[in-house]
Amino acid sequence: MRVAQHAVLLCGFAATTLGLGYMAAGGAPLSYLLMNGAAFAIGVVIVVILSQRSWRVSAGAVCLGLAVVLLTSFLLGTTVNGATRWLRFGNIIIQPSLILLPVLVLTFATARNWTGAIGVTLTAIVLALQPDRAMSGGLAAGALILAFMRPDPRTLSAAAAALTGFATAMLRPDTQGAMPFVDGILLTSFDVHPAAGVAVISGSLISLMPAVIGLRKAPPTALGHAVFGAVWAALVIAAALGNYPTPLVGYGGSAILGYLLCSIALRSQASALRFGRDSAATQERLEERREHSMEPV
């Protein structure tokens, strides 16, 4: 658990810092730098607070609840060029799917039940309606990894829904233009300075390192780390191919918050596995005692 959570926090800090360096070199407004820095600080505070206690909440209920939040944010969201992906709070605009979707997929990986599968399906529908090809691709990538590693009826159904949503999003027109310091920076950052380009590429690769570290250091939680890597790799690839936010290294606090919150989901998975092992061990000891108590004197 500590390996996973610390890796996410450290890699998130490194990637965010490299992104700040790129934006500063490119002459981004000071507010951009302050926003990303504040998002990271807020994310760390949330992670610390939530890590102080154990949450006995059904993973399926969490998935469904997050899906309902995403649906609500879509219905109340701000529409730009035909896409409704954002919520506006005064001068602050957030993208709820970047905050909640990675956590939702990781939570579903923790306990794959039908309630969670319904949450994934509802999320796939919302992302197709927005439309958001990048986030639909991230959901499909995470669900496919789940279906490949745990091919049960719930994960297969969730993967089918995610793929259908992704295909629908791809068929719908997406006319969003590139926003400076947000979209397409994996290539354009080299126009600022070669070092800036290296910083952006390095930050994007570093953001995927928790998956590699977790797969090597914590095999029992391999499923969660594989899903983490699939989701964020899909978002990075989408940012390289189209006008979609570049996680952590580009301007935008939503991806930073979503990335850091993944550490809570990975921690929950580790705790669930440990609880399951402890419960199994306890049951085994009880059975041994029962057998001994029945032995004749």
Q: How far is CA 235 from CA 17, 112, 134, 159, 230, in A?
A: 19, 23, 6, 17, 9
Q: How far is CA 6 from CA 39, 118, 120, 267, in A?
A: 18, 31, 27, 10
Give per-residue pLDDT as tens, 73-93. 999 999 888 899 999 988 889
State how far the Cα of 69 lies from the Cα of 102, in Å rounded to an integer: 14
- Given a cut of 80, whether residue 219 has pLDDT beyond it is no
Q: Give the model's pLDDT for residue 55.
A: 66
Phi, psi torsion values for 190, nearest 5 degrees: -70, -20
At 271, the pLDDT band (50, 70, 90 cuts) reads low
Question: Starting at the edge strand that comes first in sequence, how are the strands of the sheet with 92-94 ordered?
Answer: 78-80, 83-89, 92-94
Query: What Rg, from alpha-carbon coordinates, does the chain have?
Result: 20
Give per-residue pLDDT as tens, 143-190. 999 999 999 999 999 999 999 999 999 999 888 888 999 999 998 999
- Global pTM reads 0.89
Mean pLDDT (whole number) for 59-70: 94
At 53, the pLDDT band (50, 70, 90 cuts) reads confident
- Given a cut of 70, whether residue 292 has pLDDT beyond it is no
More confident residue, 59 or 137: 137
Mean pLDDT (whole number) for 230-236: 97
Give per-residue pLDDT as tens, 89-112. 888 899 999 999 999 999 999 889
State how far the Cα of 216 lies from the Cα of 22, in Å rounded to an integer: 31
Q: For the chain, what is the mean pLDDT?
A: 88
Q: Give the model's pLDDT for residue 277.
A: 40
Q: How far is CA 197 from CA 175, 184, 186, 245, in A?
A: 26, 12, 7, 16
Cis peptide before 180 (omega within 30 of 0): no
Domain boundaries, the chain: 2-278
